Amino acid sequence: MNINRYFCITLTQKIMGVPELKKELHDYIDHADERFLKMVFAMSREYNPASIVGYNVDGSPITKEAHVKRVVSASKRVKSGDFITQEDVEKEVENW
């Protein structure tokens, strides 16, 4: 099987959830050549899932430390009264 062809076909089919992604990756690994396996292995050694807790809209990762800082900062702003209520947002949207 040509892994590149298989990869391209799968990507165009649908956006998958975690269980589907795991199954697809297992299929890739089961049919992969040595080069592909070495690339996946090297990439998995560099990945540290404990430090990444999410992603920004541009796809860049958000680390746990950065997320905690953002939450603490947002909490301080809310406690100091620096926020917009839902009602104010709705009024603003009406003027768009």
At residue 44, the pLDDT reads 85
pLDDT tens column, 41-92? 998 888 776 788 888 898 888 998 999 999 999 999 999 999 999 999 999 9
Query: Could you tell me the pLDDT band of residue 14, with boundaries at 50, 70 and 90?
Result: low
What does each C-alpha distance from 38 to 8, 14, 67, 81 come to in angstroms?
20, 27, 32, 53
Give exposure, 1-30, as e/b (b: 16+ Cβ within 10 Å). eeeeeeeeeeeeeeeeeeeeeeebeeebee
Instruction: Check residue 52 and give its pLDDT.
Output: 85
More confident residue, 1 or 30: 30
pLDDT > 70 in the chain, percent: 82
H helices present in 14-80, as ranges: 18-31, 34-46, 64-79
